[in-house]
Structure 1
C-alpha cells in the first residue's frame, strides 16, 4: 500500500503518476496524518469500474434467480444470439 502526504502530489506528481501506472495500485494521500484522497491511473480506475459494474449485474441476476426468476437454456440463449446477429445484419429474425 502506497501512502503519501497530500503535499507529495504537488511536489512529485510525475513520480506518483508513474508509480500508479507501473504498479496498477492506488496511492493514498493523507492530510494532517489522516486519510484524505486516493489517486490511481485512469486505466486502473476504468478496470475497477467495469469490474464493479459486472459484479453488480451478476448480483442482480443471482438475486433474481433466488427469487425464482426463469432462466434460459443454452439452446434458448443460442437462438436469441442468432436472432440478434441476423437483426444486426439487417436480415430480420431467424424464425
Structure 2
C-alpha cells in the first residue's frame, strides 16, 4: 500500500520519512492541499528504477530494429561474434 503523507511532513518529520524510504525501499508520496505533489525515494531506489527504464528503452529500440529487418542470428553466431570482439579489445 502506498505511503502518502502531507508535504509539511517533509519539513516536520524529515528523519522519519528518510528512515521509511530507506528501510522499506518504497517511495513516499507527498500531497499539497490533498493532491499529489512530490515523491520522495532513496537514491538506491531511484537508480534502480532509472536502470530498469534504460533497459526497457534498449529492448524497445531492439524490437523496432528487429521488426525493420528480416536478418536473424543464432545463439552461436551472436556469442561467437561477442567473443571475437572481446579478444580484439584485449
2:39 alignment partner, SS class: strand
TM-superposed CA distance for 1:69, in Å, is 4.9
TM-score by length of 2: 0.89
1:3 alignment partner, SS class: strand
1:72 alignment partner, SS class: coil
RCO higher in 1 or 2 (8 Å CA, sep ≥ 6)?
2
2:31 alignment partner, SS class: strand
Q: Distance in 1 between matches of 2:24 and 2:70?
A: 42
TM-superposed CA distance for 1:10, in Å, is 0.7
Unaligned runs of 5+ in 2: none
Q: Determine the structure 2 residue equivalent to 1:79.
A: 80
Q: Post-superposition, which runs of at least 4 consecutive aligned residues in structure 1 deviate over 6 A?
A: none
Q: Determine the structure 2 residue equivalent to 1:55.
A: 56
RMSD between aligned alpha carbons?
1.3
Unaligned runs of 5+ in 1: 90-95
* Larger CA deviation: 62-71 vs 9-18: 62-71
Q: Determine the structure 1 residue equivalent to 2:12.
A: 11
Number of corresponding residues: 89
Q: Distance in 1 between matches of 2:24 and 2:49?
A: 14
Q: Distance in 2 between matches of 1:69 and 1:36?
A: 47
Q: Distance in 2 between matches of 1:52 and 1:67?
A: 23
